[in-house]
Structure 1
Amino acid sequence: MRDGDGATWIAGEQGVWRHQGGRTVRLRADRAEGLLVDRAGAVWVAATDAAVLRHWNGRWERLGSEHGVVGYATGALFEDREGLLWFGTTHGLYRIADGPVRGIVRQPGLPSDYVRSVLQTGDGTVWIGHADGLSVLHEGRMRQVYPAPGTPPSSVLALAPAADGGAWVGTYNRGVVHVAAGGAPVRTLVPEDQPFGAEQVRALLEDPDGTLWIGTERGVVAWRDGLLHAEPLPGLPALPVRAFHRGDDGRLWIGLLGGLAWREPDGHLVVQRPGSPYPAQSAFDFHPDPGGGMWIATDRGLLHHGPGGYRAYGEAHGLGGSTVFRVLADDSGHLWLSSNHGVMRVPRSAFAAVDRGERDRLDVALFTRDDGMPSRQANGGSWPAGWRMRDGELWIPTAAGIAVFDPAPQVAPERGAVPLVIDALQVNGEERLPSAPGLVPAGGRVQIRYAGLSLRQPGALRYRYRLHGVDPDWVEAGTAREVTYTNLPGGRLRFEVEVASSLGGWARPAASTAIEFDVATSWWRQPWVVVAAGVAVLGLLVLLHHGLGRRLRERQRRLEAIVAQRTEQLRRTNDELEAASRERELLIEQLAYQASHDPLTGLPNRRAGDRALASALQQADANHGPVCVAIVDVDRFKHINDRYGHQAGDRVLAQVALQLQASLREPGLTVARLGGEEFLVVLGQTTRDAAVAVLERARRAVAAMPLGLDGDTAACCTISIGLVQRQGQEGIDALLQRADAALYEAKRQGRDRIVTG
C-alpha cells in the first residue's frame, strides 16, 4: 500500500516494513493483520493484540484495551466518506473518529465502569469513585485503593482534595474515609459502629481552616478539631445535600434536593426553597462566572445568579433534557454541561446573545455515544460529577465509564456538510421519482421522506421543512424524516428541507435540498364553474350543503382507511424488527459460544482456557492462595488413529473430554482443550497434594472407560498428566512450560501416570 509520500508499506506475519527510494526499513516486528492509509496520509495497522496502531509524523500511536478495544484484530480496516475509520476484531466492529472524546472503561485497577465522581489532586493523581469503591490513576498506572481486598464493595459518591495531598472520600454506606497521598493509608473518619459511620455522603469540602463540610441525606455535618458537629449551620433544613462550593468572596454555597443555600462571610445564612425566588427544585453544582455571578446546575436546566436575580436556560433555549449535573469551563470561552442526555458545549457569548434578544436559542453542540462517549448518561447527584485536569482535559463520569474531552479540537471550524437527500415521494400511495414527480391530482395526498447521510452523529441530526405557499414559516421536525400534505392548492409548489447537526440555532444548517411539483387546480375553481355557481346559487344551496357533507364523510372514511392501513403496516414492521432483533441476539450468543469452545469436544478452547488461567492467577494474587496447572495427554493416540481411523480417534477424544468433565467438577476447576490430544486443567485455590488426588481419580476413570471401537470391547486408553503448582508471581508462560516438562517426564517414565514439577 502506498502513502502520500510515495512510500510502499508492507504488512504480514513478520511485521511491518516501509519501502522508499530502494531502501526497505522494518518498523515493527510483530504480526500485522491489516493495513490502511487514510486521507490525511496516516498509516493504520491492525495489530493482533486487541489494538490498532497509527503511524503519523514518524511516530506510532496505539489504541488498545485502555480505549475500549476488545478482541483480536481480523484485518478489517476501512475509511468512509466522512473520514471515520472502521476497525474489526473478533469481538465486534469499532469506529474511530477524529473527535475530541475518548472513553476510559473497566480495566485492571478499575473494576467498575459505573463511575460516580472524579477529581485530580495537586500531584497529578486522578481519583475515581465508582460503584465498587475508589481507584487512582498515577503516572499511567490504574489501581484500586478502597475498599481493601476481601472487603465488600462500597460505592463512592463524593470526593474532595485533602490539605495533606490525599483525598476525602464519601461513601454510600460507610460514612467518610480519608485516603493519604499515593493511595495509602486509608482510615475512616468515624468508626462504622457509631451512628455517623454508616451515613450516605454525596458532597465534601475542606476549608483552609481545616473544617470538613459533609453533605449527607439528612443535611450538613461538619468535622472540626476532631469533633463531629451535627448542626453546624442553624436554620439550614435537614435536606439531602448534593454540592458545596467556596467562592472567592468567602461565601459557602450549598446545593440541596429541595432548594439551595449560602452562608455569607459574616455567618449570615440564606435559604431559598423551590418556587420564588429560586426557579428550580434542586442544585447539583456551582461554577463562578468570571463576568460576575454564579452558574448553577439544576434539575430545571442551567441558572445564572447575579445581582438582578436568576436567569434560567432550559429546553426552550436549546439545552437537551431538563437536568444539568456539572458545569465546567475551557480556555476557549465555552461552558461544558453534563446531563442525562449527553454533554453539551455552549459558548459563553451565546448566553448574552439570548439575553439581549438577538437569538431565541443557544448555540449548543451535543456530544453522545456517537462522538465516543462510553454512555450518553452522565452521572450526577454525586460530587464532583466531572473535573478539569491540569492539561485542560475534561473528565465526565458516566454510566459506562469516564468520557474524556479534549476541548481544543472543538474550537476548529465545523465539519463539512451532511449530505441531505429526498429519498422517497408518494402521491396518493403511488411511488414517484423525486426528480420527476409529475402532476399531483387536485386534493391528492403527498408524502415526502428525506434523510441526512451521516454516521458521525446520526442521533444528533435535526430537520426542518417548509412548503412555499402552504407553510407560513419553517416547521421544526426534530428527528422525524417524513411529512405528509393533503388538499394542496393548485399550481407549482416548492418543498425545502434543511438538516442541522447540533441543538443550536439554524444560522449554520449542515445542508439543504428542495423539489418542485405541480398540483392540478380543482374543478370547482374553473371559471365556468364559478359563473354557473353564481347563477344557480340560490336553487342549489340545499343540495350543495348535502353534497359537501357527503364528500366530507367519504373523505373521512378514506382517511380512516389510510390511517388503519398505515397502523397495520407499522405493526407488521415492528414485529419484523423485533424478530430480527431476536435473531441477531441468538446469532451473537452462538458466535460467542463458538469463539470460546472446541467444536469436537464441547470443552472451552485454548483461548478460553488461557482466560480461565489468567483469572485464576489474578484471584490468587488477590487472596494469596495457591494455583495448580496440569497438561493432560492421551497416551498412544497415534496408535488409535492408525488402527481404528481418524473418526474413531475423534470419538475417543470426545469420550476422554466427557470423562474429564465428569471427574473434575470441583469449584474453581476448568478443563479446556489445548489442541490435538492435549487438555489443560486449571485448579484454582488448590494445593499440589489436593490436585494430585483429584487428577488421580480422573486418570483412573479414563483408564477404566471402555472405548467400544469396532467391536473391540477390550479397547481402552490411558492418559499422562504433568502437574505444577505456581511459585511466587510466576506467569502463564512459565507455568505452562513447567507443566509441559512434567508431562514429558510422565511420558518418559512409561505413561499412564501423574508427574509433578
Structure 2
Amino acid sequence: MLLGFRSKHTPTVGVRRTDRIRPPLIACVFASLFMLWLPSMVRALDPQRPLSQALLRIWQAPQGLPRAAIFAIRQTHDGYLWLGTQTGLYRFDGVRFVPVQGSQNELLANRWIQTLCEDTAGNLWIASDSAGMIRIRDGETSSFGLAEGLPSTKIYSLIVDVRGDLWVGTEEGLAQLHDGEFTVYRTSEGLPANSIRAICEAEDGTLWIGTEGPYVCRWDGSQFIQEDFELLPRHSTIQALQVGPKETIWLGTTAGLVRRNGDAERLFTTADGLGDDVVHCLAPAHDGEIWAGTKSGLCRIHGDRIEAFQAKDGLSQSTVFAICEDHEGSVWVGTKYGLNQFVDRRTLLPFTTSEGLPSNDAGPVLQSHEGNIWVGTLGAGLAEFDGRQFSRVATTKNGLPSDTILALADGGEDQLWIGTDQGLCSLQSGQVSDIYTTVDGLPSNRILAICRDHTGTLWVGTDAGLVEFEDGNFVSPKGDASIIQQPCQSLINYCGKYLVASLVGGGLYRVQNGELSLLNNHQQFWTDSHSLFVDDQNRLWAAIRGGGLGMISGDQQFRFSVKDGLYDDEIFGLASDGKGRLWMACSRGIFFVPLTDFAKFTAGQISRLTSTTFSPTDALRTIECQSGVQPTVWKMQDGRVWFSTIRGVIVVDPQRLSRQLPPPSVLIEEVRVNGQEFRPQQLRGLLPGRANFEFHYTALSFASPSRIAFSYRLEGFDQDWIGAGQRREAFYTNLAPGSYRFRVRALNSDGVETETNQPVEFTLRPHFYQTYSFIFLVVVGIATASWVAYRLRIRNIRSRLQVVLTERNRIARELHDTLIQGFSGVTMQMQALATRLHKSPESETLAEIIRDAGGCLSEARRSVAGLRNPQGTESGLATAIADTARQLTEGSDVRLRLELCTAIPNLEADVEYNALRIVQEAIANAVKHSGASVIDVKVSLARQMLEISVQDDGSGFDVARHLEQVQPGHYGIIGMRERASQIQAELHWRSQLRQGTTVTLRLPSSPSYRGAA
C-alpha cells in the first residue's frame, strides 16, 4: 500500500512566502504544548534495570521492513513513527510499514534519507544524501534545493530551534530558514569549517554546531564562537552532538564519546565499556541519561557507568545509526538490518545469566531478615542479588557439598541454611561452614526442606525422613517409625505454634514438642502435598501434586482444581502479595486468584474461580516454574514476588499490574471507494454509483500494538458498534444513497478506550432513478396505467356480460315460446279431459297430475324469469319462498309458519334462483323425512346481510355423518352446498336427534352483489 502525496516545487528564495512556510501561531503553540506534555505522562525504561530485562521486539524483512539500513527515526506529534532508510521514507504505526512516495516526480522514491525533523507547525522535513530537502505538509510534498537557496544538496543534519527557524547542516555550509527565506553561513561568517555534521540546541537557545575537522562552535544569535575540547581526538570526525541537563555537552565522534560538564571533560572509549569507538548517533533519555549508537551496539551512559547491548545480546545488527524515544517511553533503535524496540516490562521481570545468575536452571529463592536475596541453582551453586545484578557466593569450590541446591532457610543473625543433594550446610557472613551429611546423623544427604519452629529449633526434611537439629545432633521426632522415615518434602511454621510437615504418601502431620502426629483425620485428602503456605487469616494452603490446591480453615477443609477455575492442577509453590491475591507457580507458568474468590466459592456465592495468568508474551519466553525445590515462591520485603523457573527467575511486581499509558491516537488513514483511493478529507459529496467502501484505520500505540482491539460504526447504516478485534479495515458494499459518518474507537491493553477525533463524513448522491421525484413519477405512472387497465377490463367484462345476457334472453324466449306454451296446452287439454271424466275413478289421479304439471309450469316460468333478470323496486324472493313453502306443505299435516321481510333490495336473478332452490330443498326434506309438525320459514335483513332460515321440530339427523358420507341417490345436501358456493353464500345446518333441524342461508343484500365471481 502506497501513500500518495502531491508535489509542489518551491519558488526561489528571496520571495517571502509566510503563508506557505511560516507556521501559524496557534499551530506552533499547540504543537509545543503537546510535545512538552507527552513525556511527562509516560515512563521510560527503568534505569535501574539492565537492558537485557527490557522487552525487545525486532522488525526485519519478514515483518515488512525493507532490506535497508535505517539512518533516521522520528515520531511526529500525531503519533506516527517515520523511518528514513537507504531506499526511501517509511511510516510505521506499530503494525504496518507504509512506503511514502510523492505523486509527482517521485520525490521520495528510492531516496537516501539522512535525517528527519518536524517543525512546530507539524511539517515533516526530510534531508537526503544528495537531493536536498523535501517537506511533507498536509499530504503535499515540496522540494528544496540549490534553486531555493540551499548551499548544497548533500545534507547531514536538521534542527528546529525554539523560535521555529529551521537550521540545515550541509556539506557546503549552514543554512537558516526564517520567514520563508534562507540565510547561508560559511567560514566567511565565522564557521570553523563548511561541512556541518551535527547541530543541537541547548536549553537557553544556544545552537551547538559540530563541523568536519573536528571543530565545535556555538551560535549565540549574532556570531559563531569556537569551543575547544581538550580530550577531543584531533584525528576524529564529529558525527553527533547532544546537550544534556545542566549544559552537559556530548560529542559523538569516530574516536569515542566526549562529555564536558563545566570544565570537566571525559572521553569514553571501548576501554570504559563503550561498544565501539565509532559513535554514529546520540539521543537523550527521559531520565537524563544519554543513548549512544555505536558501530558495535547500543550504549546507555548513566554517570560514569556504561551499559552496552550488542548483537550477541539480541540486537538485530551491530551498527546503530538512529535512536528515538517515543511518547510512551519505548526506545527505538535503527541498525543496518532491522528496527529494534525496547519496552519497559510492566509486570514480569526476568533474571537470567544475562543479569549474572550462575545458571538459568533456578532453584529455591529466599530473602533473609536482613534483606539479603538468595537464589540457589540446580548445578551452579548459590547467588546473591544486590538490587541490579547477581553475584555467585558459594559453590563446591569454596565449600558447598554440592552445586545443586534444593532448599534454603533463614537461620537468623546473618546465617543461611543451605540444603543440597549431598548434604546440609550453613552460610555465615558469606562463608560456608558446618557441613552435615549422613556421617553426622542425617537420614539422607538429599535435603528437601528446611524450617525453624517457634523456638528457633531447626528441622530438616530429607528423602529418608524428618529430623530435628539440636546441639549439633540430628534427632528423629517421636512417633511411628514407618511414618517418620517417609520423605519429607515440605515444612512450614504454622502461626508460631507448631510445624506442619508434608510426608510423601502420608499426608500432613503436626510436629510439636518433638512429637509427630496427624494433622487431621482425612489423610487421603492431603496425600503428596509438596508445598505449604499460611496466609494472614491463618488458613493453611497445600499444593497437591497433580491434584490442585487444598485449604484448611479451622475445622473445614476444601479442595480446588481446574474444574473449579484454577489455571493448572500441577502447583509447585504459593505466596500472598498482601493485596488479597494468592500467587501460584505451576507447570504452565504463573497465575493468581483473589482470596475473596475462594471465600465466595466455598460459600456458594460464585460457581467458578477466576484465574489471572501471565502469558509468555509478558516475559517473551516460555514460563515453567521449578518443581522439587523449597521455597519455589517468595514474597520479598518490597512487595515483589519471586518465582523460580526452569529458565531463570521471574519477578512479579503486584504494584505494577496496571500502568498508565497515553491513550492511543486513533486515525483513519485512507478510504477506498470502488477501489479508488481517497484521503478522508477528500470525501464530501460523492457521485452516484460509489457504493463500495474500504476504510483503513489505525491506533498509534507502540507499547502493545497487537493487543489493541478496535470497533467501528458507520452512522446511517450500522445500528450499533461492530467489534473488529485487531483488524484495521472495515468494508461496506452496496451502500444506499444518503449521509454517513464513519467512527472508530480503540481499546488498549490497559482498558483505556479512545475514539478518533476526526470521523469521516460523506454524502453519497443518488442516481436520478433513486430520487424521490423519480419515484413519485413512477408511482403516478403505475397508478395511471392501473386505472386505464381497470377501465379497459370493465369495458371488456361489460361487453362479455352483454353477450351472456343476450344469450340468456334468447333461451328464455325459446323456452317461453316452445316448452312453456306447449306444456300449457297439454295442461289445458288434461283439464278438459278432467271435466269430462268428472266423478270418475280416474278423475282424482288426473287432478293430481294436473296439479304437478301446474307446479312444474310455475317453476319453468320462474326459471325464465331468472334468465330474464327482471329489475324491480322490490325483490320477488320473499313471495317465491312463500309460494314454494305453501305448495310443498299443502296436503300434509305440517303446519307452516312464515315470517318474511319483503323490503329486500333486488338481487341478481341467478342469486334469487339458487337461494330459492336451497330453501325449497330444505322445506322438502323437512316434509318428507323429518316427520315435523311445524316448519318455520324466516327471511330477515340486518347489517347488509340477508338471512333465510328453515326450522322444523322433526326427528333431526347426524349432520357430520351426512356431510361426510353421502348415501347413493341422496344428493340434496350436496346440491344445496354447491348452489351456496356458486352465489358465495354461507350455508349452515344445526340439528340434533329428536330436536329438529335448522338450515340457515346468509348472503349479502347489497344491490351491487353479483353472486358468483
TM-score, length-scaled by structure 2: 0.38
Bigger Cα Rg: 2
